[in-house]
Amino acid sequence: MMRNLARGLTVATLAVALSGCISVFPKTKPATMYRFGDADVSVTKAPTGAMFGVQKAPSAFTRAAAGDRILTVTNGEVAYIADARWVSPAFILFEEAVARAFENDPGRARLIGRGEVAKADLVLRLEVRTFEADYVNGPKSAPEVVVRVRGVLNRNSDRTLVGDQTFEAKVKAADNRVSAIVPAFDQANAKVLSDVVAWVNAAGPGPKN
């Protein structure tokens, strides 16, 4: 009897101790989640001809902006927007946006998926060098989102360089609020990807005799 009572007191004491531990954790405001890559990528009419395959190497991404935090720059000072996060790391959202851009484009270039058995005529490598909101007119003004991407195209058969070009888009946010800054990221990213897709379409092999 006494043993059972002692065991019961021990369990009760442990439960109280645990509840006390849980109650002392500070309450933190959850970060609001955002995404980019949903804006429509409009591409000018591509050259006519047969479709060709493009193997895409994993993109390189500027380290400061590659994660889930939204990067800002003010007079050379780098910071992240508080209480705001990308729903996934930026480099993952970018890769998904690239895939959608080629998938939705009616042009000749077609990305070859991983594990897909298909011939690749070209190899595409993208380097995201800038992906940030720049406060060019001070910290209280609406920032300008800058997306700068270098694209390198090689012929798959012999790795000959086909093209090397840098694409850039700048979109000013409508206001100095996260809800206005995120759409500017989306628009700038879409503009760059539309230029990339058009460039790849134009660089594809010509008609075979």
Q: Report pLDDT digits (tens) over 136-194.
A: 999 899 999 999 999 999 999 888 999 999 999 999 999 999 999 999 999 999 999 99
- Give the C-alpha separation, 166 to 181, whole Å: 23
Q: Report pLDDT digits (tens) over 22-43.
A: 434 445 567 899 999 887 787 6
For residue 69 the two structure tokens come to: 């935090």
Q: Going from the N-terminus, what domains does the chain have, and what CATH number goes with each?
A: 28-203 (3.40.50.10610)
Output b/e per residue, 140-158; b: 16+ Cβ within 10 A: eebbbbbbbbebebbebee
**CB contact at 8 A, 78 and 84:** no
**Under 8 Å CB-to-CB from 77, ≥6 apart: which residues?**
none
95-98-103-105 Cα dihedral, nearest 10 degrees: 170
